[in-house]
Amino acid sequence: MASRVNESGWNGPHGTFEPVSGSLSPDQRFAAENAFSSVLASTIREAVGDALGRNVLEILTLKGLLDATNNSKEFDSKLRSLFGNGAAVLEKIVVKDLNRKLGIRYDSEASFDYEKSLETAWGVCFVESKLK
């Protein structure tokens, strides 16, 4: 079942990231990961499109950058290869939008880490799916 999760859903930086004790059934976890993966991918598309326009979004799609959205480390690396320091600005826009969708407060004064921000967001998604 683990391979099913990794192939299809959110594949965070540590793979086995478990934000809270207790567990979902494999199917519930699979569904939660897919839901998070879907929200993240759409948020990235919206954020990049709104910041830099549809043409840039289309080019990034053609270059396969948006295929890496489930792996934050790989996505960050690919984004930096194209945008240099501007990658962090795009990532902040993504995290701000994602946090707004999930009801998480965004602190622009705090130090920023894309992977950790996504871990936090995934944690919230995971807990919410446990409560359903």
| Residue 80 interacting with other proteins (CB under 8 A) | yes
| Residue 10 interacting with other proteins (CB under 8 A) | no
* Residue from 21, 22, 64, 111 in contact with other proteins (CB under 8 A): 64
| Residue 26 interacting with other proteins (CB under 8 A) | no
| Residue 86 interacting with other proteins (CB under 8 A) | yes
Contact by Cβ (8 Å): 93, 43: no
CA distances from 129 to 58, 68, 92, 111 (A): 32, 24, 25, 28
Contact by Cβ (8 Å): 57, 45: yes
Nearer to other proteins, 5 or 79 (CB): 79
Three-point CA angle 101, 73, 88, nearest 5°: 65
Q: Which residues bind other proteins (CB under 8 A)?
A: 47, 50-53, 55-56, 58-60, 63-65, 77-78, 80-86, 88-90, 92-93, 108
